[in-house]
A and B are shown apart, each in its own frame.
Chain A
Amino acid sequence: MELLKIENCRKSFDGEEILKGISMSVNEGEVVSVIGPSGSGKSTLLRCACMLETMDGGVLSYAGKTAAHEKNGHVLYASHAELKEIRKTFGLVFQNFNLFPHYSVLKNITEPQMLAGKSKEDAEKKAFEMLEKLGLSDKAKSYPCQLSGGQQQRVSIARAMALEPKILFFDEPTSALDPELTGEVLKVIRDLAAMHMTMIIVTHEMSFAREVSDRMIFMENGVIRAEGTPEELFSSEDERLKSFMGRLSGN
């Protein structure tokens, strides 16, 4: 089943076109990583998909439900109520975690669930289940400032997963972490991939992307330059692709 479909997505900032007509789709259970140099539009694409940015042109749909479509050169988004429903299908893990600093780890995970209608007991049960999975059971009462970056990122993954999204987006989830902490976060994502969680990962971790992805998308200058299985991309004869992959997988 096609969970996410983006067609001809365009986005400009201050007259500069960042996304020049991107089309992609993601099927249930697929892990797709989006790679490319800084400024290629990877994060903007992700933010458009999550509706943190509005598209200037294109179509966006989740599991067959249209979130945005184009009409007479304008992008029309679905109604407030429809978007609220659609937002439940995906979660997002940020580069800077964006945990709520005034909430304990537990409350960070339970409150969004309770706003979605769960009882406190159910929300806490789910939160502890997630924390245990991510090896953070002893941190429920801690505040984000008391945790390491890696732990914070794992909490933010737990927070997103507790809402049981169909798709989970990762926006450079390890870019704010040192190499040691990167490992523990990548392990969590690997475990999720093993459970066939549908994920779209924007990352600079080449060897990791190669390992977990079913498909990789290489973006440059606002367009998809290459797309395929990791094997296809890593064995590509495209000079640009070769130099990019080679340089990044080296470290």
Chain B
Amino acid sequence: MSPTLLGYGDLAIAALLIVLNAALSLWLDLGLTRTVLVAAARAVVQLLLVGLVLRTVFALASPLLIGAVLLVMLLSASYEIASRQERRFAGFWAYGIGAATTMLATVLVTAFALAGTLRPDPWYAPQVLVPLAGIILGNVMNGVSVSLNAFNTAVVRERPAIEARLALGADRYAALKPLQRSALRSGMIPIVNQMSAAGIITLPGMMTGQILAGMEPVEAAKYQILILFLVAGGAGLGALGATTAAAWRITDERHRLRLDRLRKK
């Protein structure tokens, strides 16, 4: 079976569902009409735009252009992480910790996948590199932002417990260990759930897309497994890096808790 190519007419038919939703909302006075229409319009514009950009990037296959696309993705992820923090570090570190650990985890896992399993030629082939880095980055971003937020919130809440351990002579990493563990767990829960539920509750989006596009189901499943492993590895590395960096920054070399370095949003 070859992939069925969609025409704009096909999309227009699907759009009837959105229009139906909007009409229902208007009729029942749910106040959702505008929201639904704007969101649908955004999805159309953003996705077609990305498609156009990727078409150009794929056609030119210029390493410089690919690098620029990846950089923009990384920067937006770093901004997103910082904006999701209820309490963030003062100054440069508000972005620094999230950006550095996200970049490190994404680059490591992407390089590992490129060199170890996918082996595209050339290695920076944009058809492989861009979507691969994208899906890894998205999951690393979630792992980092959830665990960092959990850690920074818990540090403020658990201040008496942390300082009690420090006062009794624990070093800073020992005093923060229980918080780091629970923050890591929060960061990893989504991806662990995703792996446990895969195939039973839902077919993962990527596998669904590949099957619809004509790929043999077992081959599609193998791809999905690869991606799940990559994103789980990336999210775990990112969350570990981010909470370790946060534990370092929230204390000083005299093993004092430095809540003055956190700002409430």
A in complex with B: no
Enumerate chain A interface residues (CB-CB to B < 8 A): none
Enumerate chain B interface residues (CB-CB to A < 8 A): none
